[in-house]
Amino acid sequence: MASHIGRRKFLSALGTAVAVWPLAAHAQQAAISVIGILSGRSPNESQSVVKAFREGLREGGFVEGENLFMAFRWAEGRYDRLPALAAELVGLRVALLFAAGGTPSALAAKASTSTIPIVFSAVGDPIGAGLIASLNRPGGNVTGMSVLAPATVGKRIELLRQLARDFDRLSPQSVQSQQ
């Protein structure tokens, strides 16, 4: 009888180990963050940008192959492929989705998930595109960098007017007429 109980304990322990092993393996993998990079461009066009991105991550303590894995998806100019590529990255359970190269990548990323954080780059009008609620408080899971924000157009015009007044005041004709 004692050997029968020992066998039960052994089988129970084995079953527990088999059930827990994938969880332990997953926990070890969780130490490596996965960043999904979605781009409408090609890898060749983006070499310098990717190099700078890696350097910036390294400066922040994220080293590819040590505590970071980057999963790239390139549309190579075929923007119609972006939604499927974004869905692939979401399927990988990335910790962060970086939408590079403008509005089409950012829109595809946003349409693919409402829970994974998304960072976009080079979007002209993120509010008008429906990516964020406002520049001060983007809201949701999307944030990023805008090249030309329409919300700043008024300030730019004001600065140009000021420069024009200063230029007129300092022009050779104005200087001669003041003398």
Summarize pLDDT for 1-29 with one digit per residue, the tens: 444 444 444 444 434 444 444 444 444 44
Which pTM does this prediction carry?
Answer: 0.67
Indicate which CATH number applies to the domain containing 65: 3.40.50.2300
Summarize pLDDT for 104-145 with one digit per residue, the tens: 999 999 999 999 999 998 888 898 899 999 877 888 999 988
Q: Across the strands, what pairs with 68?
A: 33, 64
Total of domains in the chain: 3
Q: Same structural domain for residues 19 and 89? A: no
Summarize pLDDT for 51-62 with one digit per residue, the tens: 988 998 889 888
Q: Same structural domain for residues 155 and 72? A: no
Q: Same structural domain for residues 171 and 98? A: no
> What strands lie across the sheet with 142-146, from one edge to the other?
68-74, 33-39, 96-100, 118-123, 142-146
Task: Print the domain residue range for 10.
Answer: 1-31
